[in-house]
Structure 1
Amino acid sequence: FLPSGEELFLFSSARDEKGAVDELLARGLSCIVLKKGAAGAVYHDRHGAVASSGFAVDEVDPTGAGDCF
């Protein structure tokens, strides 16, 4: 599952990131990669989480940026 920011909460009744991730994993998702824009992304599975910071780029055109993530 590859949501961005607030999209995570569209699929969960939780009000915080950890609660939403835990709820979705308990429903049977094997992994979630939460995209956080310039702040990077966080990979979650039943064994824990791994965060990766973003890196600076010169933006030319943001069209399709989420799709090419």
Structure 2
Amino acid sequence: MITVLFMLPQVSPVTWQSFDYAPVAVLVVLGFAATWWLASARHWFLDPDHGRTLSRETARAGAPDPSDP
């Protein structure tokens, strides 16, 4: 909420001299984050019932504990 309030224009009417670039910067960061998530990160975080997750957990259950001598 406070971020939205700080991004509101400070003067009216808004001119190029009084334009606040914070909303533009926020949109750039959100756009980059959304693109990165769509391209790559959504494949890292799987549903616990997903087949790859279940097979990985099954393999871990059968593997020896790394702290065992």
What TM-score results when the alignment is normalised by the length of structure 1?
A: 0.22
What TM-score results when the alignment is normalised by the length of structure 2?
A: 0.22
Q: Which has the higher helix share?
A: 2
With a CA cutoff of 8 Å and minimum separation of 6, indicate the structure with the bigger relative contact order: 1
Q: Which has the higher strand share?
A: 1
